[in-house]
Amino acid sequence: MLNDKQLRFVEEYLIDLNATAAYKRAGYSAKGTTAEVNASRLLGNAKVSAAVKKAMDKRSEKVGRTAEDVLRDLESVKADAMQRIPDKDGNMVMLDHSAAIRALELEGKHRKMWTDKMEHSSDPERPFVVMSPAERDARIAELVAKTSAKRK
């Protein structure tokens, strides 16, 4: 069960998907970079994360839009924006370069083609692994337990 501030955070997060802003709007105190750090931790909380997912799924059901619908529309925008038309000098130019770039960016983001954060792994086969805060915390706990066991 979420506490009142966590519930408020979920509601605020759904407005603009900005965790730091949602953290502040939910009434948490934030000095310096603590809002950013704690908002990330809050999103990594399994209960909060599940509540966000549930609320987002409910909203998607309500509006009747799926990820496939959004991707299909993005593809349409991208195709339109990338059309080439003649400019005043007769040169063929892209219709809307910025819209095409934005559509490509959103598609790449959805497909997780790049990330803003990378985490180091102790596994030599996978030196860099992208992890959620919850996965990172679980991995740290696992490594601490393993290290403690070796010391005994």
Average pLDDT over residues 104-128: 67
Task: Look at residue 116 and tell me whether its pLDDT is greater than 80.
Answer: no
Q: What pLDDT shows up at residue 107?
A: 84
* 72 in Cβ contact with 78 (< 8 Å): no
pLDDT band, residue 119 (cuts 50/70/90): low
**Percentage of the chain lying above the pLDDT 90 cut:** 34
As a whole number of angstroms, the distance between CA 42 and CA 10 comes to 10
Task: Look at residue 29 and tell me whether its pLDDT is greater than 80.
Answer: yes
Q: What pLDDT shows up at residue 128?
A: 60
pLDDT in tens, 30-86: 887 888 899 999 999 999 999 999 998 888 788 887 778 888 998 999 999 999 999
Q: What pLDDT shows up at residue 124?
A: 61
Task: Among 6-15, 67-76, 108-117, name the most confident range.
Answer: 6-15
Closest CA to 110 of 73, 84, 147: 73
4-8, 22-26, 67-71, 112-116, range with the lowest pLDDT? 112-116
Please give the domain boundaries of the chain with CATH numbers for all domains: 4-63 (1.10.10.1400), 67-110 (no CATH), 119-151 (no CATH)
Q: What pLDDT shows up at residue 51?
A: 94
* 71 in Cβ contact with 107 (< 8 Å): yes
Task: Look at residue 125 and tell me whether its pLDDT is greater than 70.
Answer: no
Structure tokens, 121:
């792994």
Q: What pLDDT shows up at residue 100?
A: 87
